[in-house]
Structure 1
Amino acid sequence: MFYLEQPSPDQQVLIRQALNEDVNTRDKDLEAIKEWLRKEPHLPDTWDDAMLMTFLRSCNFSLEKTKRRLDKYFTVKTIVPEFFTECDIARPEMQTIVNALEIATMPGMTPEGRRVHIARIATSDFEDFDYNYFARVIFMVADVYLKSEKLGSAGEVYVLDGENYRLKHLLKLLPIFAKNFSEFLPEAYGGTAGKLKLHWDKYLAAFEDFKPWFKEQENIKADESKRPGKTTSYEDCFGLHGSFRSLAVD
C-alpha cells in the first residue's frame, strides 16, 4: 500500500498557516464545495471528501479558486479522456513508459513542511513512445499523490533530473539541492534516502492497488452537454490550438 509519511505536530502547525487552514471552519468549507457540486449540472454530484479537502488546501481555502480548479480537473478528463482511461500499467504501451521513468515522492518532509519530488528518465534511448500513455502515467502519479495526502503540505520541491532530457545544464542545480535537502534526496543525488528506483517502485505498486479506483474515476468527470452557457473546448482548457498529438518534441 502506498504511504506518505505524515507531518509532525510542529509541521502541521506550519502547514495550516501556509495553507490558510482554520480547523474550526474547514468542515464548513468542505460542505460548501459539496453543495456547489450538487448544484452544478455538468459536474459529478459527489466525490471523495478527502480529495475535495486536498483541493481546498491547494487553493488556500479560497472557495472560488477551489471551484475553478475542480471544474477544470473534471473538464480535462472529458476533453482528453485518453489521458485518464485504461489506467493499467500491465498494458504493453504503459510498460514502455513505466520502465523508462523513475518518479518519487521522497520520505518525510522538510522542516517547513514541504514535500520533495524527484523525476528522471532512466534510460538514454527513450525516444519511441506514445505521448498519450506518457501523460496517462503522469496523471496517475498525481492522482495517487493527491489521494494519499492526508494533511496537506506547505509546498512542493520538484527536482527534475535532466540528464536524459538532453538538458544537462540542469544537473548543475543538483549540488544546491544536495546541500539543502540531502536528507530527502536519493543516494545518486548526494542524499541519504536510498535509491530512486525503490521509491518509484512504491508508485508502481500503488498503481496496482489503485486499479479499481482509477476505473471508477473514469466516469467521474464533467458532462459538457449539461454545462450552463458555453461548453468548454480543448483550447479553453489548455490555451492551445490543435492537440497534444500533433506536438513534435525534439
Structure 2
Amino acid sequence: MSTKAFQTQLSQVILKRAQSELGEDEDRRQQVIAIVKKWMTQQPHLQRIRLDEYSIICFARGCKYSLEKIKIKIDLQCTLRTALPEFFTGWDPMKPRIQDALACGSFLPLLDYDQHDRKVIIMRPGCFDPMLFKPEDIDKANFMISDTMGREDEQMFVTGMVIIVDVQGFSLNHLTQKPLALFKKQMYFLQSAPISPKTINFIRTNSVFHSAYNVVTNMLNDKMKKRLKVHGSDFRSLYKEIDRRILPKDYGGDGLSLADLTDLWKQKVEEQRDSLMESERNLRVDESRRPGKAKTAQDIFGIEGSFRKLNID
C-alpha cells in the first residue's frame, strides 16, 4: 500500500463544507486512514491491493465517514473490478481500439463547477457508431476517464456531482448491440462508486430512449430513481438545474465545446497511462483467500433475469 501521506488540496471554503456536512477535520481524516489501512491488512483477500490515502479519504467522504459503509464500498469496488474484466482489463489507453473509443467523447467531465460547486459530467451514449465499436471498449475508455477525473478532482467527493445524459444519436442499434447483462453490470458498478450523482439529467431524448427508460430505471435502487430528470429538448429546463454559464457551447453555454472536451480528456488519459495500467494490477482482490466462500460473478450479479439490485445507502 502506498505510504504517501494524504494532504488535502481543498480550499478553505470547501474544507468548511466538509467539516459542517461530513464532520471532517484533520484528526478524523488521519484516524479513518489508520483504521482502514489496518482493516485491509487483516482481510486476506485484500492484502495485495494498493489503495493510497487519497483514495481512502475519497471513500470516507462519499460514505460520510461511516466506517461500515467505507469497508463495504472498498471491498465491493475492488471485487467488481476483479469480476468485470470486460471493463477493467487491458487498461492501456494507447491501444488502437481504446484510442478510437476515447476520440468518441462518450464521457466528458466539465472543467468548471455548477452553482452548487458540484462536478458536472456529460455522458453521450449515442455519439458513436454501434456497428463499428464494441460497447466494452467505449465503457472501458469511459471508466479510464472517470478514474483520471477522480484522481485530480478532490472537491467532487465533498460537494458531489451531477450527470447530463445527452441522448442525441442514440438508436435502436445502440440498444441491441449492447447486451442487457453488460448494461446491468455497468449500472451495478456505478452505484457502488464512492459517490453517487445528485441528479441525472436526460436531454435531447428520442423515441428509442423512451422505449428503454423503464428498463434503465428498473436497474436502479429507489434512491437513484428519485434523482432522474427528463428535460428532453428543453434546455431552459436544464439551465434551472445546472448553471448555463459552465455548459458547453453546444448547449448554449460558455464552456469548452464537446469536441474540445473530447480532445482534452483523451490527452489527460494518455498522460495517466502508467498510473491507469498500475491501477489495473493493484486494485484486484484475491478470491482464493477470501474468508468463507469466494465470490463469483453469479454471486454478485445473480442469474440472468433476476439481476440483484444494489442497496448500500
Q: TM-score if structure 1 supplies the norm length?
A: 0.84
Give the corresponding residue for 2:278.
Answer: 216
Q: Which residue identity does 2:45 align to in structure 1? A: H
Give the corresponding residue for 1:120.
Answer: 124
Whole-Å Cα distance in 1 between the matches of residues 84 and 13 of structure 2? 41
Q: Which residue identity does 1:178 align to in structure 2? A: Y
Whole-Å Cα distance in 2 between the matches of residues 41 and 58 of structure 1? 25
Whole-Å Cα distance in 1 between the matches of residues 69 and 136 of structure 2? 28
Find out whether 1:9 has 2:70 as its counterpart: no
Give the corresponding residue for 1:234.
Answer: 297
Find out whether 1:163 has 2:168 as its counterpart: yes
CA separation of 1:241 and 1:28: change in aligned 2, threshold 3 A = same
Bigger relative CO (Cα 8 Å, ≥ 6 apart): 1
Find out whether 1:25 has 2:86 as its counterpart: no
Whole-Å Cα distance in 2 between the matches of residues 163 and 199 of structure 1? 17
Whole-Å Cα distance in 2 between the matches of residues 123 and 224 of structure 1? 37
Q: Deviations over 1:14-47 (max 9, x none)?
A: 3443344333312101111111111111013542
Give the corresponding residue for 2:54.
Answer: 50
Whole-Å Cα distance in 2 between the matches of residues 24 and 52 of structure 1? 14
Whole-Å Cα distance in 2 between the matches of residues 124 and 48 of structure 1? 35
Give the corresponding residue for 1:187.
Answer: 249
Identity %: 28
Shift in Å at residue 92 of structure 1? 2.5
Shift in Å at residue 206 of structure 1? 1.7
Whole-Å Cα distance in 1 between the matches of residues 63 and 56 of structure 2? 11
Whole-Å Cα distance in 2 between the matches of residues 32 and 90 of structure 1? 37
Whole-Å Cα distance in 1 between the matches of residues 264 and 51 of structure 2? 25
| Range with greater deviation from structure 2 (220-229 or 131-140) | 131-140
Give the corresponding residue for 2:82.
Answer: 78
Whole-Å Cα distance in 1 between the matches of residues 23 and 278 of structure 2? 32
| Range with greater deviation from structure 2 (179-188 or 122-131) | 122-131
Shift in Å at residue 202 of structure 1? 2.3
Q: Deviations over 1:163-201 (max 9, x none)?
A: 112442753353222344112211111111121222232
Work out whether residues 54 and 149 of structure 1, in 8 Å CA contact, stay in contact via their aligned partners in 2: no
| Among candidates 233, 244, 247, match of residue 172 of structure 1 | 233
Shift in Å at residue 159 of structure 1? 0.5
Q: Which residue identity does 2:239 align to in structure 1? A: A
CA separation of 1:186 and 1:45: change in aligned 2, threshold 3 A = closer
Work out whether residues 91 and 280 of structure 2, in 8 Å CA contact, stay in contact via their aligned partners in 1: no
SS class of match (2:94): coil
SS class of match (1:116): strand
Shift in Å at residue 124 of structure 1? 6.1
Q: TM-score if structure 2 supplies the norm length?
A: 0.68
Whole-Å Cα distance in 1 between the matches of residues 303 and 152 of structure 2? 31
Q: Deviations over 1:96-125 (max 9, x none)?
A: 322323422212323432111112257463
**RMSD value, Cα:** 2.4
Number of aligned positions between the proteins? 237
Matches within 5 A, 1:60-139: 60-121=64-125, 123=127, 125-139=129-143
CA separation of 1:153 and 1:235: change in aligned 2, threshold 3 A = same
Whole-Å Cα distance in 2 between the matches of residues 90 and 45 of structure 1? 25
Q: Deviations over 1:133-170 (max 9, x none)?
A: 12211211221122112243322110010111244275
Give the corresponding residue for 2:260.
Answer: 198
Q: Which residue identity does 1:228 align to in structure 2? A: P
SS class of match (1:101): coil
| Among candidates 41, 52, 58, match of residue 38 of structure 1 | 41
Gaps of 5+ in 2: 1-8, 172-204, 211-229, 306-313
Gaps of 5+ in 1: 1-5, 243-250
CA separation of 1:25 and 1:124: change in aligned 2, threshold 3 A = closer
